[in-house]
Structure 1
Amino acid sequence: MHRSLVPLLGAVLLGGCASSMQSTDDFLGVITPYRIDIVQGNVVTKEQLALLRPGMSRSQVRDILGTPLITDPFHAERWDYIFTIRRPGTEAQRRSVVVRFEGNAMASVEAPELPSERDFVAGITREGERKVPKLELTEEERKALPLPQRREAPAAEPMGAVRSYPPLEAT
């Protein structure tokens, strides 16, 4: 009787520990596990989408948007650009852009309202993190920059050993 009761009691105790651990993300109320940001896919912005034109070749589309996340051999006329980001404490983001081709030429693009590059960077920056860097200088800031100094090129020195040879004579 004792032999069958000990494993049963152990299973009940361990089952209780497991259910309390699953209900919270912290261990003993002090230690919380580190959760990483999960970023997958291709970020497509308004600026990239504005560069696409019907009739562009597949290689031109790939140069602008990058390699598609999904290229299905059964649907060769369709490229899917999917982007997801999951961060602890925030709602997951998911965007899907579908590019359709007729032969080698782009026919159409299906996309939701996409953020600009600046909006995207601002949207993934957490409070307390570093601020978004300034991407461009104003014209006044460019004029205020010092001009680069011109460097004089050093005189070219002969390369290799210098030898003198006797003149060739015809015999």
Structure 2
Amino acid sequence: MRLLPASLPLLALLGGCSLMPHWDSLPAITGEKVLGVLTPYRLEVVQGNVLTKEMVARVKPGMPKAQVRDLLGSPLLTDVFHEARWDYVFTIRRQGAPAQQRLVVAMFDGDKLKSIDVPDDLPTENEFVASVNTFKPSAKEPKLALSQAEREALPPPKQSAEAAPTAAAEGPAPGRVYPPLDAAPAKAGS
């Protein structure tokens, strides 16, 4: 009997453990959603130089390092132990678009470009812009310009006899007189 009062708090403590939720039963972050509902903001991370097919096509073997730097920009990685190699690394992580990573390697022989190693998936400028564009136009946006065919289909504007004469035909408004713009200012004391 003496053990019963001492063991009651221990039994209550152990029994309370089964009432606590288990960590594996809590909702988790899956994919892009938290709790299956919320999409958290993800910071856009861009590192390195954006290189496109058009930019790399301008670089030719035999060019000096300064000219390659002018055309492609400064490399993200240069190594004092491998001065003949420049690594142009580019990564971008943008919410709503797939992550991208590319590596272009320029090899030099002294001060002259020996070769340039370009990945097969290097995009053109238009392909790159399309790949990072996360703007999805909605159907509710108004059309802001007419096509040439739509302009030609418009009826000509109506000319009416009661149309008010233009302000240029009447002259300046009564009571307003402005000096000519090309007149030189008068000198004081003349």
In the superposition, the TM-score normalised over structure 1's length comes to: 0.60
- Alignment match, 2:72: 65
| The one of 64, 80, 84 aligned to 2:87 | 80
- Alignment match, 1:52: 59
- Alignment match, 2:47: 40
Q: Does structure 1 residue 116 correspond to structure 2 residue 124?
A: yes
> Quick one: structure 1 residues 125 and 22, their matched pair in 2 at CA, closer, same or farther if it must change by over 3 Å?
closer
Q: What's the offset of the Cα at 1:42?
A: 0.8
- Alignment match, 2:108: 101
Letter in 1 for 2:132: I
Q: Distance in 1 between matches of 2:22 and 2:45?
A: 32
| The one of 11, 21, 26 aligned to 2:34 | 26
Letter in 1 for 2:76: L
Q: Distance in 1 between matches of 2:130 and 2:27?
A: 38
Q: Distance in 2 between matches of 1:73 and 1:31?
A: 47
- Alignment match, 2:98: 91
Q: Where does the alignment leave 5 or more consecutive residues of structure 2 unmatched?
A: 1-8, 139-181, 185-190
How many residues align? The count is: 128
Could you list the structure 1 runs, at least 4 aligned residues long, displaced by more than 4 angstroms after superposition: none
Q: Distance in 2 between matches of 1:123 and 1:90?
A: 7
> CA contact under 8 A between 2:96 and 2:134: conserved in structure 1?
no
Letter in 1 for 2:80: P
Q: Distance in 2 between matches of 1:118 and 1:104?
A: 32
Letter in 1 for 2:92: I
Q: What's the offset of the Cα at 1:89?
A: 4.3
Between the two structures, name the one with larger relative contact order (CA 8 Å, sep ≥ 6). 1
- After superposition, the C-alpha distances for 1:7-43 in whole angstroms (9 at most, x for unaligned) are x94xx647357x523347324x543311233222111
> Quick one: structure 1 residues 61 and 20, their matched pair in 2 at CA, closer, same or farther if it must change by over 3 Å?
same
- After superposition, the C-alpha distances for 1:92-144 in whole angstroms (9 at most, x for unaligned) are 222110000011111110002322212211221124169xxxxxxxxxxxxxx
> CA contact under 8 A between 2:61 and 2:114: conserved in structure 1?
yes
Structural mapping, 1:4-23, within 5 Å:
5=13, 9=17, 13=21, 15-16=23-24, 19-23=26-30
